Amino acid sequence: MLKFNETDLMILARTIYGEARGELKLANGGLQSLEAVAWVVKNRTRHKRFGESIVAVCLQPWQFSCWNVNDPNRFELLHTTLENKILQTCFLSAANVLFDKVTDCTNGADHYHSIRIKPPNWGKDLVPTAQIANHIFYKLG
């Protein structure tokens, strides 16, 4: 069983906020799009190369673009408070995934990318496990 603490929960909520908050309002996204990012993070904790904790997975360099120093989302990601309704929703989505209150809508995915970009080299020969709103999900294992 995955062990986590309040810091893990908050970093995961902020990762969801940075990566998928725009998906919340989409008809084909909604809460499932937020939960999908959380599932990718949780699924990565099963692989030592990504880190063994939620924080380690989320903050590993160049894995989640919202944490990159040059990402335009980073300032808002770091300064948004829990008074923000969308961050509250991200926090609840993170908790639902970490406490196994929702099923894995990504079918075990540990990677994803936006439909707005050319598929990265790591995903070009893989069959997606899911598409939720503007993200395509993959299981690299």
**Domain ranges (residues) in the chain:** 6-105
d(CA 63, CA 60): 6
Domain 6-105, CATH 1.10.10.2520 — does that match? yes
Give yes or no for a contact between 59 and 65, defined as CB atoms under 8 angstroms apart. no
* Predicted TM-score of the model (pTM): 0.94
Averaged pLDDT, 118-122: 85
**pLDDT (tens digit per residue) in 43-100:** 999 888 898 899 999 999 999 999 999 999 899 999 999 999 999 999 999 999 999 9
